Copies of this chain bind each other. A is one copy, B any other.
Amino acid sequence: MSRRSIDPARLLRRISTLGEIGRDAEGRLVRLAASDSEKLGRDQFVAWLEEAGLEVAVDHIGNIFGIWNGAGGEEKPIMIGSHIDTVINAGIYDGCYGVLAGLEVIQTLKDEGFEPSRPIVVAAFTNEEGVRYAPDMMGSLVYSGGLDVAAALKTLGTDGTLLGDELARIGYAGTHAPGFMTPHAYVELHIEQGPVLEREGLSVGAVENLQGISWQRVTIDGDANHAGTTPISMRRDAGYAAARVIAFLRDRAKSSNTPTVATVGCIAFEPNAINVIPSRATFTVDLRDPDEDRLKEEEAALAAFLELLSAEEKVGISAERLARFEPVKFDSAIVRLIEAAAGDRGLACRRMTSGAGHDAQMIARIAPSAMIFVPSRSGISHNPKEFTTDVDLIAGANILLDVVCGLATGELPE
């Protein structure tokens, strides 16, 4: 197995440089999709692509590609991708790490005279975070044919802008049709954004699937009555009913012995007064599971509990679907390549499920895909505290290097 390595200093320097682009007056990293500050990040990335001698292509939705045609110009390319837009007050690793490691892998192979059997491409997909324009993962969704590009360009932003206008304004309304290259395989390297690798003392995650997501908003209606004068037996307490749901979801997930996770992240009571029984409780439910049947089971169990609770507590309950994504199964051959690379380098690795959404789940619609995770300290992301050690960053990039080499020499998949 190859003991070649990417250039650690160059990769770390680029991560750090890109992480300083788009700081606001308070020093917060904010590169929202198609904004002025994101343009600066894009310009830097394109400059690095050109410095590495790659062909730069931009498509109608603003996805940026750095293409190394190498020897096998007619073949379908190996694509490495992620995104460089950020949330508000972001960390420096989420997305950027995968894009810059992709560039690093190509530049390393190119510089050492490696001869791939097919082109290798690094991609930075537009608007993965979805903060300014919904939905998230938009660039990869459009690229894989899941959303019409004309409709996507008409997306109205939270600031009243149209995505298409903003892309044109910053000079990234490209000329290529989304999907103009169908990948032979797609690999995405990303920080875990969860605590599993760190807590288990592992360096690498071979991501074999991605959870399905079910988001709902539940509204419970009871009676606002005086907290002092209304006997417990006469209450229709929407807040208490909400508490029962929260406890039900968590206790069920905890005792299920499955990867199911359930979270109630938002809540509001009305009238929200210390001495008034809540007449209304509104809260969100985030259910995730890598298995579609099990996700459906969890949704059904919640619905059944809500019905029971409504009768028991004499409260009105309605649930509204906010979002629903089926689980994604990644390509097992690529997952095995990742495991093999980690084994060859003596890095502790486990198969795992991605709990967050990624561009890879969109590209998986059109090409064999998988992801590599590296540890996130304390599982924190979308936050300036987001952190991965240099050692882990370099190790992850070298695993990516090995996997791309394997794919580029025709090892897998066929």
Contacts and interface: CB of A to CB of B under 8 A. Distances in A.
Interface residues of A, number: 62
Contacts of A263: 227, 237, 275-277
Interface in A220-235: 223, 225-234
A370 B226 CA distance: 21
A244 interface: yes
- Most chain B Cβ neighbours within 10 Å, of A194, A246, A265, A268: A265
A254 interface: yes
A199 interface: yes
Contacts of A232: 250, 253-254, 260-262
A228 B277 contact: no
B239 A242 contact: no
A174 interface: no
A10 to B, nearest CB: 29
A228 B246 contact: no
Contacts of A229: 192-196, 354-356, 379
A300 interface: no
A101 to B, nearest CB: 20
A218 to B, nearest CB: 12
A267 B265 contact: no
Contacts of A382: 226
A391 interface: no
A264 interface: yes
A266 B274 contact: yes
10 contacts: A193-B229, A196-B229, A215-B274, A230-B379, A233-B254, A234-B379, A243-B250, A265-B273, A266-B274, A267-B272
Given A226-B356, A226-B379, 19 more contacts: A195-B231, A213-B228, A223-B378, A228-B286, A228-B356, A228-B357, A229-B354, A232-B254, A233-B254, A234-B379, A237-B250, A237-B263, A239-B267, A242-B243, A263-B277, A265-B276, A266-B269, A267-B268, A274-B322
